[in-house]
């Protein structure tokens, strides 16, 4: 490719997009040298790719953005043995008299299915599916209303967030899209990310119930940096979770 062509941002970004689609990380210094352009120009290219949802900028360059979470209705029928293991490992954290917030998603639906009607247990949830499960178990439940997100099958938006601001919980169990040792805990969609932050503000402690497939993944919206994560329940192995433990999180292996 000629130097003249590489002076065109559209040409450069098409080339970079192809590399991202093949799973290749982009190193800014190397690209500036390869294309014969300034580092600031490459940074603008990476910013444009990030704005287009094609890249996640990191220190020194960018990495491919993983495929976003599929809608809940497409995922709900998939058998997930790991979800049962995660739910059973999480249950001992929930005691009598606890007020808990359960977010949306298939993992937390499975946790709700394993919940026992403990004395004075109270569940707050923005997910109608979870509310229906706890209702059948005769567990007192507060359903947070609002516009439903198809991704996590939970209420989102200003109305739902305002309701959470008037509630207090001991533990929050949010849905998770990604958990990365550099980027932290993240979500794919901005409205669910905002709702998750509201859940965390309403609770004394946040517990992440995270399948191993989500470790090393990054959603577009960071919720918590690694250093602010206190407890993770996961089926990932000990070496994988070492960076989170070193940062101060308690790791509970399913």
Q: One fold for both 3-64 and 72-253?
A: no
Cα angle vertex 38, ends 36, 44, to 5°? Answer: 120
Lowest mean pLDDT among 43-47, 61-65, 136-140: 61-65
pLDDT of residue 23: 65
Q: Which pLDDT belongs to residue 22? A: 66
pLDDT at 79 over 60: no
Please state the pTM of the whole predicted model.
Answer: 0.75
- Does 66 score more than 80 pLDDT? no
Question: Is the pLDDT at 211 greater than 60, yes or no?
Answer: yes
CATH fold, domain 72-253, is Rossmann fold (3.40.50)
Buried b / exposed e over 159-181, threshold 16 CB at 10 Å, is ebbebbeebebbbbbbbbbbbbe
Fold of 3-64: Arc Repressor Mutant, subunit A (1.10.10)
Is 97:169 a contact under the CB 8 Å cutoff? no
Which residue, chain included where needed, has tokens 């207090």?
168
Res. 3: pLDDT tops 70: no
**What are the start-end ranges of the H helices in 22-169?**
28-35, 39-51, 72-75, 81-90, 106-114, 128-136, 158-165
| φ and ψ at residue 79, rounded to 5 degrees | -70, 130
Q: Where are the domains of the chain?
A: 3-64, 72-253
pLDDT higher at 54 or 188: 188
Give tens-digit pLDDT for 172-200: 999 999 999 989 999 988 899 999 999 99
User: CA distances (Å), 8 to each of 33, 62, 85, in order?
Assistant: 16, 20, 52
According to the model, what pLDDT value does residue 54 have? Answer: 76
Would you give the DSSP letter of residue 37? -
Given a cut of 60, whether residue 126 has pLDDT beyond it is yes
**Three-class SS state of 184:** strand
Which of the pair, 134 or 52, is modelled with greater confidence?
Answer: 134
């Amino acid at each position: 490719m000629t130097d003249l062509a590489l002076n065109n941002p559209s040409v450069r970004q098409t080339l970079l997009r192809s590399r991202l689609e093949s799973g290749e990380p982009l190193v800014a210094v190397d690209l500036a040298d390869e294309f014969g352009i300034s580092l600031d120009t490459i940074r603008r290219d990476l910013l444009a790719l990030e704005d287009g949802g094609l890249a996640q900028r990191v220190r020194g360059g960018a990495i491919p953005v993983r495929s976003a979470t599929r809608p809940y209705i497409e995922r709900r029928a998939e058998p997930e043995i790991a979800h049962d293991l995660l739910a059973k490992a999480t249950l001992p954290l929930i005691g009598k008299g606890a007020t808990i917030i359960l977010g949306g998603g298939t993992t937390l639906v499975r946790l709700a299915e394993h919940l026992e009607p403990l004395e004075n247990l109270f569940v707050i949830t923005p997910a109608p599916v979870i509310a229906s499960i706890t209702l059948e178990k005769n567990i007192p439940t507060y359903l947070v209303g609002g516009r439903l997100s198809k991704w996590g099958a939970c209420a989102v938006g200003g109305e739902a967030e305002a309701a959470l601001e008037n509630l207090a919980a001991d533990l929050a169990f949010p849905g998770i899209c990604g958990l990365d040792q550099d980027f932290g805990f993240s979500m794919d969609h901005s409205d669910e990310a905002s709702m998750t932050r509201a859940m965390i503000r309403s609770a004394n402690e946040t517990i992440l119930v995270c399948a191993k497939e989500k470790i090393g993944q990054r959603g577009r919206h960071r919720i918590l940096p690694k250093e602010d994560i206190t407890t993770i329940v996961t089926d990932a192995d000990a070496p994988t979770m070492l960076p989170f433990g070193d940062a101060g999180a308690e790791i509970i292996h399913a």
